[in-house]
Amino acid sequence: MTAPQLRFENRVAVVTGAGRGLGRAYALLLASRGAKVVVNDAGGSLAGEGVDAGPAEHVVSEITAAGGQAVACTASVATREGGDAIVETALEQYGGIDILIHNAGNVRRGSLKEMTYEDFDAVLDVHLRGAFNVVRPAFPVMCQAGYGRIVLTSSIGGLYGNHGVANYAVAKAGVIGLSNVAALEGAADGVTCNVIVPAAVTRMAAGIDTSAYPPMGSELVAPVVGWLAHESCSVSGELFIALAGRVARAVIAESPGVCRQSWSVEDVGEHLEAIRNIEAPLIFPVVPDGHDQHIRYSFELAHRSSDRGALHG
């Protein structure tokens, strides 16, 4: 028996970087299932330079031609004023904001030895500060309404690093921290926040030989984002991988570790194998209280170690 189609009627979605690539796929999918969509894209170059209303307006035309509802917004996520304008477009045009997908991005490559401060800031401005610039005005509106779905974009570069992209890796790692806090603070008000870690052959793959890649179109990522943006989404504070048809969850994990009443520099070296042993990993989910679970676990071990010390003293 086929499950009923998940729809987005009466939902208002904002998608940043929606003029091309993944963002366009997200916007088209949500609109095709009934959402009213703010298609945000400044239309700049891959490096984030320039403004062109064409990409956003073209996606809006695609949506409306198919019978959907959408409006274009070319404000830049890179500034506070731009972020405010993007969210305000949703409020003015459609009376609210239920879904926020931050997908806008730029690329400025350079080795860590040579990367300019300007290129570092320019990438953080779009990916990381851009995320905050749209989450900040949208979040209180969602909390007050008692409903919201936020999807932020990280990258395998943010999880594992990569050569020549220190700015991108830092920004994408930072997005995870922002998502965790939004998930925690939004839980009581029906607002979820999750991270998509997508990989697709889009213009960001310029300069990379993709001839041997398996199918990696945006259509393999968009349904994952669609589910995270839907009211039936049952998780918050999680990371979802979507790459070449594989959908998976990524987690931060810890080894059980070693607990002692005292440590010397030499002790660390001597216990290194046990300290690093990840065969029985510990995972503390962000929601409801991973932060506190982490502390409680360490405190409990410390108490046990102290008790053992007293017994053998």
How many helices and strands, by DSSP H and E, does the chain display?
A: 10, 8
Half-sphere exposure at residue 62, Cβ-oriented, CA atoms within 13 angstroms? 20
Active site (annotated) includes residue 168: yes
What is the distance between the terminal CA atoms of the chain, rounded to a whole angstrom? Answer: 66
Closest CA to 229 of 285, 283, 150, 160: 150
Evaluated on CA atoms 4, 103, 55, 70, the torsion sign reads positive
For residue 293, with 0-12 CB atoms within 10 Å meaning exposed, 13-18 middle and 19 or more buried, which class applies?
Answer: middle
| Secondary structure percentages of the chain, helix, strand, coil, to 5 | 45, 15, 40
- Active-site annotation holder among 94, 168, 213, 297: 168
Point out the residues that are catalytic. Answer: 168
